[in-house]
Structure 1
Amino acid sequence: MMDGRLRFRCTLPRFPHDVHEPTKLGEARTNNACENWNNGFKYLVGHANLSLWNVITCLQKDNAMAEAEVYRYEHGEPVEKRVRKGTLLYQKKMQRLCEEVASGNKTAQDFLAAVGHCIRIHV
């Protein structure tokens, strides 16, 4: 910073970022695997202020569910993931938009405007 002005340098990103590819292929859009467990455990617990014994009970329940899922997987049963209708609809919209950008039918500005219309803000 000289003479009161900021100067910015153009630097390349540290990691490759092809954000459209996972969405087009129907893969996970986030790399945070712990987020899923945290949300599931929060749902299992049900409230914020727990005693130590309630936490232990919830951890035992979670462990039993994980063991049952591993057992089903080892015996060839498909592990079904429950997905809400709204989530499926949202994923299809995002997949279609990403495909349109990749094919050149939509510009980046049109894509961002369309994504902005998909976002729901809860107040």
Structure 2
Amino acid sequence: MCPFVLRTNNIRESWNNSFLSLVGCSHPSIWKTIDNLRKDRNNIQVVILLDSCGQPPRKLAHRSTAQLQQKLHNLCTGVIDGRKSKEDTLMGLGHCIRWK
């Protein structure tokens, strides 16, 4: 995949980027294109089927975001359970703040 391809919110460009990564080359033969279109259709059918069964597709989250959410969850449960004082919780929250 080209390193200059940026993520986008435009659904058409998003599909083009995902199809390019599925194909793996810039100018595939017609047969390879047909096979990859079939693979893409099958992938979409699986997503639709899972969504209809109540399992919507998962959004990818950065590892750092998941870790931060876990830290905040631990701080909140510590306060609720009485294991942490308000001062300790505020100190913990202060350590979770990221300055850019």
User: TM-score, normalization: structure 2?
Assistant: 0.51
Q: Which has the higher helix share?
A: 2
Instruction: Look up the match of 1:77.
Output: 55
Whole-angstrom CA distance in 1 between matches of 2:13 and 2:61:
16
What is the deviation of 1:48?
Answer: 1.1
Whole-angstrom CA distance in 1 between matches of 2:33 and 2:61:
27
Counterpart code for 1:59: L
Identical amino acids, percent of aligned pairs: 34
Q: What's the CA shift string for 1:8-58, capped at 9, x where partnerless?
A: xxxxxxxxxxxxxxxxxxxxxx65111211110000000112110000000
Q: Which runs of 5+ in 2 are unaligned?
A: 1-7, 66-99
**Number of matched residues?**
60
Whole-angstrom CA distance in 1 between matches of 2:24 and 2:63:
23
User: TM-score, normalization: structure 1?
Assistant: 0.42
Q: What's the CA shift string for 1:64-94, capped at 9, x where partnerless?
A: 00000000000001311334548x6xxxxxx
Instruction: Look up the match of 1:37.
Output: 15
Instruction: Look up the match of 1:14.
Output: none
Larger relative contact order (Cα-Cα within 8 Å, sequence gap ≥ 6)? 1
| RMSD over equivalenced CA pairs, Å | 2.4
Structure 1 runs of 4+ with >2 Å offset: 81-86
Q: Secondary structure at the match of 2:38?
A: helix
Q: Of the candidates 66, 71, 96, which is equivalent to residue 44 of structure 2?
A: 66
Whole-angstrom CA distance in 1 between matches of 2:17 and 2:43:
15
Whole-angstrom CA distance in 1 between matches of 2:28 and 2:51:
32
